[in-house]
Amino acid sequence: MRWKIWSLKKSVWVFHVNTGACNNCDIEIVNLLTPKYDVERFGIKLVGSPRHADALLVTGVVTAQAAPRLREVYRQTAKPCVVFAMGACACETGIFNGAYHVVGPVDKIIREVDPNAIIAYVPGCPPKPEAMISGVVKALSVL
């Protein structure tokens, strides 16, 4: 397991999962790839399939319709896989707490699939790109 974690920490490939977000966190995530922040310098890149991903960037409250899809995406990832709950909604459903179509937060749904999942939280509404980078760095340095 040690070497698996070790190999995970360099050049993290991420898959972006929107589970009912307002788009802000998602746009800030895409923003990370554009010239001002440009995380591709560090080998971090968005990939098109969860099967290629080292980490999931999950945004949004997890709506009733999105929950089964989120579980399935998590199952498809190669383990170990770090789940990043990006933004207040993903961390604890935020302002949408108690809405009828919300079944989240993200950690609850992920733990239904894998009780030992590695989950990191980046709060903020939306977290600034700098905060996202800092969150990823912090999480990877304690792994």
Dihedral of CA atoms 65, 99, 74, 43 in degrees, nearest 10, equals: 120
Do 61 and 25 meet the contact criterion of CB atoms below 8 Å apart?
A: no
Provide, rounded to whole angstroms, the least separation between the CB of residue 22 and another protein. Answer: 5
Q: Which CB atom, from 15 or from 121, has the smaller least distance to another protein?
A: 15
Q: Which CB atom, from 47 or from 133, has the smaller least distance to another protein?
A: 47
Q: Which CB atom, from 5 or from 99, has the smaller least distance to another protein?
A: 99
Provide, rounded to whole angstroms, the least separation between the CB of residue 12 and another protein. Answer: 17
Provide, rounded to whole angstroms, the least separation between the CB of residue 75 and another protein. Answer: 9
DSSP 85: E
Nearest to 66, CA basis, from 125, 120, 17, 100:
17
Provide, rounded to whole angstroms, the least separation between the CB of residue 26 and another protein. Answer: 4
Residue ranges in contact with another protein by CB under 8 A: 16-31, 34-36, 46-49, 60-61, 63-69, 71-73, 94-96, 98-103, 112, 125-126, 128
Q: Which CB atom, from 102 or from 118, has the smaller least distance to another protein?
A: 102
Query: What is d(CA 109, CA 63) in angstroms, rounded to the nearest whole number?
Result: 11
